Chain A
Amino acid sequence: EIVLTQSPATLSLSPGERATLSCRASQSISNYLAWYQQKPGQAPRLLIYDASKRATGIPARFSGSGSGTDFTLTISSLEPEDFAVYYCQQRSYWPPMYTFGQGTKLEIK
């Protein structure tokens, strides 16, 4: 089973600052990685797929990069509504097995 490890567990920043979140896979997953945002009491929302493609309606301040085992989600300039928990997710090829990272909580400093 491929394990995704996210860091840091908690990131404290102020609005307007740049956020960099990391996700590391225990083995290469090419670019098949997604990022989700979850706000309290809400379902997760797909932000990024295929490591770097923004999902429909996602603002340009969100960007993803990486391939193989190391991936990054960057929020260029934090807006108040960006403070949330972020999860990365991958799928193993066969049999299909979907796993998530443990999450990074982005909190207001």
Chain B
Amino acid sequence: QLQLQESGPGLVKPSETMTLTCTVSDGSISSNSYYWGWIRQPPGKGLEWIGNIYYTGSIYFNPSLKSRVTISVDTSQNHFSLKLNSVTAADTAVYYCVRGNLLAPGAIASGIYFEDWGQGTLVAVSS
């Protein structure tokens, strides 16, 4: 059964860059049937989509975060990563990596939902 596991620093200083990695187990990140993404949730608040990456390397971001976000895939390690630069306290959140099903194999950007979630990792931004 697919497992998604986030990893990264629990504490980041303001203005620095935060890097998180999602390791995929029992599933290939190169599959043309799925897409991979990041969603965050500030403490006590709702869910915010950050961005998705597809097996071709195509990436789509939330416009509100686009200028600060990088998402990449390492197929040799079967993981994908999130970098968020110039962080502030507003970026303090639980960060989830997710997987979604494409509507058809190879149909880039066709996915609508998030079927599988990692357990989440809390990142606090503080000096």
Contact = CB atoms under 8 A, between A and B. Distances in A.
Most chain B CB atoms below 10 A, which of A96, A101, A103: A96
B75 to A, nearest CB: 22
B47 A87 contact: yes
A10 interface: no
Interface string A5-23: 0000000000000000000
Nearest to A32: B112
Give the interface size class of chain A.
20 to 34
A81 to B, nearest CB: 18
A43 B120 contact: yes
A61 to B, nearest CB: 21
Nearest to A100: B47
Most buried by B among A32, A55, A100: A100
B55 interface: no
B74 interface: no
Contacts of A42: 119
Q: How many interface residues does chain B have, given as a range?
A: 10 to 19
A45 B46 contact: no
B115 interface: yes
* B47, B52, B63, B96: residue with the most chain A Cβ atoms closer than 10 Å: B47
Given A32-B112, A34-B112, A43-B96, A96 B48 contact: no
Contact of B46 (A34, A91, A95, A101): A101
B46 A100 contact: yes
A45 B113 CA distance: 11
Closest 9 CB pairs between A and B? A43-B117, A98-B49, A100-B47, A34-B113, A96-B60, A91-B112, A49-B113, A102-B46, A96-B109
Interface of A: 32, 34, 36, 42-46, 49, 55, 87, 89-91, 95-103
Interface of B: 46-49, 52, 60, 62-63, 96, 109, 111-115, 117-120
